[in-house]
Amino acid sequence: MNSTIALTLPANYTYVLLVAASSTLVSAWHTIAVMKYRKRSKIPYPNTYASHEQAEKSIDAYQFNCAQRAHHNFLEIYPEFLTQLAIAGLTFPELSAGLGAVYLVARVIYATGYTRPVRDGGRGRYNGIIQYVPRAGLAGLSLASVYKLIF
């Protein structure tokens, strides 16, 4: 029984790597947004969120909570995104990179909408609902890649 797998990356896998590297910029952008709203709202460390009372009194505190939640949501999905991008890119590098790029743009739209200075329960995040299309695509492509590698 052979215990190794020979894996050759496709030449266009560099596009997948570019999207993966770019995702760190989106993560940093989220961090900067959280810091901006933390400073405006004067919510001290180590508080992760403003209290309900603080958010009710201050639109800055409300926006801080929204920015923090958008960032946390990004981080919750980030490992799944990178895993699917890496696996899908093994057999579908260009399509995977394209879906990954659309996903990252949608994440910025999501966060920008979420942090609008309007107390609407975060409905602005729905602007980024398109993110689910590339996520579903990457999930399907990653499974298809594994299938192609096995068979």
pTM above 0.75?
yes
Domains of the chain: 13-150 (1.20.120.550)
**Alpha-carbon distance 151 to 137, whole Å?**
21
Q: What are the residue ranges of helices labelled H in 89-131?
A: 93-114
Nearest residue to 17 via CA among 115, 130, 94: 94
pLDDT digits (tens, 9 = 90+) for 34-91: 999 999 999 999 999 999 999 999 999 999 999 999 999 999 999 999 999 999 999 9
Do 101 and 114 contact (CB within 8 A), yes or no?
Answer: no
pLDDT digits (tens, 9 = 90+) for 99-144: 999 999 999 999 999 998 888 877 888 888 999 999 999 999 999 9
- Judged against a pLDDT cut of 90, whether residue 97 lies above it is answered with yes
